[in-house]
Amino acid sequence: MSAMDKILCINETDGDLSCQSGARWEQINDTLRDKDIPLFFPLDPGPGATIGGMIGTGCSGTNAVRYGTARAEWFLNITVVLPSGEVIKTRSRARKSAAGFDTTKLFIGAEGTLGIVTEATLRLAPVIPTKVAIAQFPDVEHAVSAVQEILNSPYGPHLQCVELLDDQMMSAINKAGVVDHPYPVKDTLFFKIQGAPEAIKLTSDVVKEITNKHGSDRFEFAADEEAADLWQNRKYALTSSIALVPDARCWTTDVCVPTSRLPQLVYETKQDMAKSGIRSTIVGHVGDGNFHALMLFTNDEELRIVNEAVHRLVHRAIALEGTCTGEHGVGVGKREYLRDELGEGTVELMRTVKRAIDPLNLFNPGKLYPEPSMPSGATSKRTETHKDVRI
Amino acid sequence: MSAMDKILCINETDGDLSCQSGARWEQINDTLRDKDIPLFFPLDPGPGATIGGMIGTGCSGTNAVRYGTARAEWFLNITVVLPSGEVIKTRSRARKSAAGFDTTKLFIGAEGTLGIVTEATLRLAPVIPTKVAIAQFPDVEHAVSAVQEILNSPYGPHLQCVELLDDQMMSAINKAGVVDHPYPVKDTLFFKIQGAPEAIKLTSDVVKEITNKHGSDRFEFAADEEAADLWQNRKYALTSSIALVPDARCWTTDVCVPTSRLPQLVYETKQDMAKSGIRSTIVGHVGDGNFHALMLFTNDEELRIVNEAVHRLVHRAIALEGTCTGEHGVGVGKREYLRDELGEGTVELMRTVKRAIDPLNLFNPGKLYPEPSMPSGATSKRTETHKDVRI
C-alpha cells in the first residue's frame, strides 16, 4: 500500500488528520510543520514506518511513555477492505464513542490478517517544546529505579521519552561520532522533557535530584543541536550498532515486561549474551518495560547462536509476566510463543475471529496465528529463520 | 457480578492493580488513598460504577480529556468467561504488547454480549495535586473556542478536566446550595488544573489569559473545600437537576461530536428544547466534544416529547460526524442508530464477531446489535421506551 500515501484532510481545530495508509509518520509531521500547524502525530516507531504498518503491528516508539501506543486512541477511525470485499469505515470522527466495541481495534496488531487498511483518521497532539537531558548510572537497576520514581511523581507526565541505552550502545554512539566529546561508556538514560521553558526548568530540577539519589553522577542537558543529533542517533540505533562490527548483520528483537522486572531481565540477558560471545547493544523504552536487543552476527554459526539466545530471551520475558514482543509484532518468527504467553483459549479466540472474518484464509496466511499442530515455543526444536532479521 | 468486588493485588512499583469485576472505581481509589499509595485509577464515570460495567460500556468520565477512556490502555488484561464456558486471560501484565490484536478490546464496549468479565488488571496513574478554577462566558461558542485554544497550547496537557455546565445547570447548582454566594447563571467552564503548585500557577495564568480573550469576564479559583463540593455537585449533576422540578423524573442521554461542531450542536439542541417546552440541563466533557442532556418530565405526555427530542438530538450529532453515544452505551434504546452512524458493513462485522464467539446468542441477547429487520433510526416510527431512562 506504500504508494497510497496522500494526506487527505487536516482539521486543525479538532486536532485530527485523515490520510491514506501508505503515508509515513515523519511525512505527516513534516507536512504539519511546513504548514505552521502546531500539532503532531505522536506515535514514532522506526524511521519510514507507514500508517498502515503502524496499525498492522500495533506499534509504539520512544513517545509511548507519554502518549501510549497505537492501541490507545490515536486512530479515530480506519477504512478497511474486508476479505469479503466489503469496504467499511470503523467509526465516526468523534474523539470518543460508546457505540459498541470498537472494530478499529480488531485491525490494530492483526498484521493484515483481518483486513487491508486503506485510510485512517489520526488524532493529533499539540507540539510542546522539549529539552534532551542525559544521566549515567552504575547499572541498569539504578537507572530503572530512578525512572520509576520520576514517573510516579507529579512531574512524571512531563517526560515525553525515557530511553535506556546500555554501555554497548553508548560505545556505538561514541564511535558514530555525533558528539564532540565521547560519553563515558556506562548505562545511560536519555530524557526528553516537555513543557514551556519554566515548566521544563521545574521538571529537570526534580529529575536531576531523583537521578542523583539513585546513583547517577552525571546529569546534563544536551545543547539543542547535539540533542537533535543524539535523538536521531537513538532512532537510528540499528545502523549505529551495525557499524560496531565490520560486515555484520543484525537480529533485532524486542520484549516487554512489568517495569519492576526489567532490571532482572536486562541483567540476565546481558550475562547470557556475554557467555554466548554475542556482540549486542540494548536500547529500551524503559518507562514501559520494553527493550530491544540488537544482536550482531557475521556468519551462519553466529546466527545459530543468536537464534538460541533470542529464544531464551523471549522465555525469560514471558516467565517474568511479560510479552514476546512489545512493538515489533509476531509475524512468522514469534508465532510459536503466543500460546505460552496467552494460553490456548485466548489464541483460539483470536483464531475464531480470524475464521469468522476471513473464512477462506485469504489475508496474510501463515502470519500471526500459531497452527494448532505447532509445538509451543517451550518445547519446540529451534529452527533457524531469517524472518525476524532486519538489516 | 457486583458481589465479586475484591481487590486482589496491588503492584505499586509497576503502577498496576488486579481486582474482581464488581469492584467500584471509588472503592479502588479510596483503598489506594488509605494505604498511602500515591496512585489512582483515572477513569471516573458516574458514581458507583463497577470495573465490569466500565469495561462493558467502554466508559469515560470527566478525566478523559487528560487520561482518555476505557478504550485506551487502562486495562492491561482481563479474565473473561466466554459463551463456550472457556475462561481466558487476554494478555500479560506488561504495559504494552504487540502480540497480535488485543482481545481485551473486544470486550470493551461489548456490553456483556461477548463474555462475562470476572477480573481485570488496571494500570494506575500518579496522583497529581489539582486546583479547580471557574470561568464564565456569554455563550457556549465562546467557551468551546477558549477550550480548544488552551488544549492546543503547551499547557493543554496540564488540564485534567474541562467541564461545561450550561446556564440551567448553574442554576441547579445554585439551588443545591453548595456555594456560599450563588454564581451568575451563565454558561460556565469548570477546570481541574493539575501539577505541582508552581506548575499550576504557570498553567492558570495561561488559562486566565486565554479565557479572557474569548470573552470570559470571570476567572477564579475555588477554595479547596468549595472545589470539592463543586466537583461533587458536578458529578451528582443528575440529582441536582432532578431537584429543579418537583416530582420530576429524568431522561439522561449523551452524544459526542468533533469539538468544532459542539457549539452548533448545543445551540440547536437548546433551541429545540426551549421550543418543545422541555426543562433540561446540559453538562459536557467539552474537551472531548461529549455532552449530556438531562431532560426532566413529570408525566407520559412530557415523556413522549422528551423521547422525540432525544431522537432529534442523536440525528443532529450523527449528521455532524459524531456518535449516538459518547459514554453511556447502546443497550436497547440506541440500537436503531448504529447503522446510521457506522454503516451496514461495520454493523455486520460486529454481528459476525458476535455470532462467531456466541453462536447460540446466550450472552445479553437483544442488546447492542440492531436486528437486520430493524428499520434504521432515520425512518423508524418513534416508540416510547423507558429503557434509557435513568432516575
**pLDDT single digits (tens) B46-74:** 889 999 999 999 999 999 999 999 999 99
CA distance B235 to B230: 9
| Number of domains comprising chain A | 3
* Residue A97 contacts B where some CB pair is shorter than 8 Å: yes
Residue A248, burial from CB neighbour count under 10 angstroms (0-12, 13-18, 19+): middle
CB pairs < 8 Å spanning A and B: 319
Q: How far is CA B357 from CA A195, B81, B298, in A?
A: 46, 11, 43
Answer yes or no: is A49 within a domain: yes
Interchain proximity A100–B109, CB inside 8 Å: yes
pLDDT at A178: 66
What is the structure's pLDDT at B389? 39
Out of A97, A126, A155, a domain closes at A126
Cβ contact, residue pair A126, B91, below 8 Å: no
The 10s digit of each residue's pLDDT in A301-322 is: 999 999 999 999 999 999 999 9
Per DSSP, the residues of B39-51 read EE-----STT-BH
- Given an 8 Å threshold on Cβ–Cβ distance, is B106 in contact with A105? yes
Q: Are residues A271 and A347 located together in one domain of the fold?
A: yes
Amino acid residing at B250: C
The string of DSSP codes covering A249-314 is EEEEEEEE--GGGHHHHHHHHHHHHHHHT--EEEEEETTTTEEEEEEEESSHHHHHHHHHHHHHHH
- Is A369 among the domain residues? no
CA distance A47 to A51: 12
Do B90 and B186 lie in one domain? The reply is: no
Considering the domain architecture, whether residues A278 and A224 belong to the same structural domain is answered as no
Best of A348, A349, A353, A358 to disrupt the B interface (most B CBs within 10 Å) is A349
pLDDT in tens, B82-120: 999 999 999 999 999 999 999 999 999 999 999 999 999
- Residue A66: pLDDT band with limits 50, 70, 90: very high
Confirm whether A107 is domain-assigned.
yes
Of A137, A182, A194, A183, the closest CA to residue A164 belongs to A137
Same domain, B214 and B271: no
Q: Please tell me which of the candidates A105, A156, A343 has its beta carbon nearest to residue B101.
A: A105
Interface of B with A in 163-222 (CB under 8 A): 194-196, 198-199, 202
CATH of the domain at A260: 3.30.70.2740
Q: Which residues of B touch A322 (CB under 8 A)?
A: 92-94
In a domain, A366, yes or no: no
Domain for residue A113, yes or no? yes
**Amino acid at position A76, single letter:** L
Residue A381: pLDDT over 70: no
The set of cell numbers assigned to A172 is: 556505538
The tens digit of pLDDT for each residue in A237-252 reads: 788 888 888 999 999 9
- ipTM for this prediction: 0.93
Q: Out of A190-199, A377-386, B24-33, B264-273, which region has the weakest mean confidence (pLDDT)?
A: A377-386
SS3 B381: coil
In chain B, the DSSP E strands lie at 7-11, 16-20, 39-40, 75-81, 87-89, 116-123, 125-126, 130-137, 159-165, 187-194, 218-221, 249-256, 280-285, 290-297
Q: Which of A189, A207, A235 lies at the terminal end of a domain, its last residue? A: A235
Evaluate whether residue B240 is within a structural domain: no
Is residue B14 domain-shared with residue B118, that is, in the same domain?
A: yes
Q: Which of residues 274-303 of B touch A (CB under 8 A)?
A: 288-290
3-state secondary structure of B65: helix
Same-domain check for residues A122 and A134: no
Element (H, E) at A131: strand A130-137
Residue A90 lies in a domain: yes
The CATH number of residue B204's host domain is 3.30.70.3450
Residues A208 and A272 in one domain: no
Please report whether residue A377 resides in a domain.
no
Q: What confidence score (pLDDT) does residue A38 get?
A: 94
CA torsion, ordered A209, B124, B238, B148, to nearest 10 deg: 60
Q: Do A222 and A268 fall into the same domain?
A: no
Mark whether B349 and B262 lie in a shared domain: yes
Q: Looking at this protein, which amino acid is placed at residue A168?
A: Q
Mean pLDDT is lowest, of A174-183, A352-361, B162-171, B255-264, for A174-183
* Higher-pLDDT residue of A94, A178: A94
**Is 80 exceeded by the pLDDT of residue A380?**
no
Domain containing B172 equals 130-235
- Distance (Å) from the alpha carbon of A278 to chain B's nearest alpha carbon: 26
Query: Do A23 and A70 have their domain in common?
Result: yes
Domain of B82: which CATH number? 3.30.465.10
Distance between CA B20 and CA B259 in Å, rounded?
Answer: 35
Q: Which residue does chain A place closest to B67, by CA atoms?
A: A67
**Within this chain, do residues A199 and A269 fall inside the same structural domain, yes or no?**
no
Q: Would you state the pLDDT for residue B178?
A: 66
Q: What does the alpha-carbon distance between residue B288 and residue B274 come to, in Å, rounded to a whole number?
A: 25
The answer to whether residues B271 and B231 belong to one domain is no
Which of A126, A143, A175 is the last residue before a domain boundary? A126
Over residues B228-245, the pLDDT tens digits come to 777 777 777 788 888 888
